[in-house]
A and B are shown apart, each in its own frame.
Chain A
Amino acid sequence: SQQGEEDPQALSIQEGENATMNCSYKTSINNLQWYRQNSGRGLVHLILIRSNEREKHSGRLRVTLDTSKKSSSLLITASRAADTASYFCATVPEGGSNYKLTFGKGTLLTVNP
């Protein structure tokens, strides 16, 4: 069953603009991870935020976590055509198996040059 749901399902922007994707989840979590998937490839880990963290940065990526709203957002600043990909959030529910990472359905980001 899906724990995380990304929003929007698809997003199209111009190069240089910022892209924001959201993830909502149903139950309390231990951590939340974001992955990127380029067309025809496997997923690549981007960033992990723990349940006791509120914000995390990695290069042009900024992730926030609001546990009271059970939601997270991924911001990509100054987007590039190479950022075109699907983005997934993934969670481990609090008290759930550490070995069963659950993925959302993803947001397809298109960055137009």
Chain B
Amino acid sequence: NAGVTQTPKFQVLKTGQSMTLQCAQDMNHEYMSWYRQDPGMGLRLIHYSVGAGITDQGEVPNGYNVSRSTTEDFPLRLLSAAPSQTSVYFCASRVRDRMNSPLHFGNGTRLTVT
């Protein structure tokens, strides 16, 4: 099993450009989520999904869109990138209906917006 796979690993955008961060998992996990990690801020939840066709907002959703058309994939879209979105983005998944199941993380996408 590959686990959680994120692409690309690195990306540089200019302000106003759009892009999609890809996340795929092969563990048949219903729950998937996106976090951003900034120095001194820890990880903050952006959006999450509990199954295909179901998404909801986390702590910092502004500027980001998500959709979930399949169990495996959960892409994160930046429609108009801003320097404040410079961060490391992590996708994570777990079994949905077990409260104590651990999160499985990808290795992150490091995004720089100039």
Q: Which residues of A contact B (CB under 8 A)?
A: 1-2, 30-31, 33, 35, 40-45, 48, 50, 88, 90, 92, 98-106
Q: Select the stretch in B13-21, B69-77, B79-87, B98-106 that faces chain A.
A: B98-106
A42-B105 in contact (CB<8A): yes
Q: Which residue of B lies closest to A6 (CB)?
A: B42
Instruction: Answer yes or no: B41 CB below 8 A from chain A CBs.
Output: yes
**Chain B residues with a Cβ under 8 A of chain A:** 4, 31, 33, 35, 40-45, 48, 50, 56, 58-59, 90, 92, 99-100, 102-108
Question: Which of A33, A35, A42 has a CB less than 8 Å from the CB of B106?
Answer: A42
Chain B positions within 8 Å of A1 at CB level: 59
The reply to whether A42 and B90 contact each other, CB–CB distance below 8 Å, is: yes
CB pair B90 A101 closer than 8 Å = no
- Once the chains bind, are B104 and A45 in contact (CB under 8 Å)? yes
Which residues from B are CB-within-8-Å of A2? Answer: 42
Q: List the B side residues contacting A48 at CB < 8 Å.
A: 100, 102
- Contacting pair A101 B45 (CB below 8 A): yes
Complex contact A88–B42 (CB within 8 A): yes
Q: Which of A33, A44, A88, A105 contacts B40 (CB 8 A)?
A: A105
In the complex, are the beta carbons of A42 and B107 less than 8 A apart? Answer: yes
A44 to B105, CA, bound (A): 7
Once the chains bind, are B108 and A41 in contact (CB under 8 Å)? yes
Q: Which residues from chain B contact A106 at a C-beta distance below 8 Å? A: 42
Question: Taking A99-B56, A105-B41 as contacts, is the C-beta distance between A92 and B99 under 8 angstroms?
Answer: yes
Contact A31 B100 (CB under 8 A): yes
Sample (24) of A-B pairs whose CB atoms are under 8 Å apart? A1-B59, A2-B42, A41-B107, A42-B106, A42-B107, A42-B108, A43-B90, A43-B92, A43-B103, A44-B105, A48-B100, A48-B102, A90-B103, A99-B31, A99-B48, A99-B50, A100-B48, A100-B59, A102-B59, A103-B42, A103-B43, A103-B44, A105-B40, A105-B41
Chain B: minimal CB distance from A29 (Å): 11
Chain A residue nearest in CB terms to B90? A42
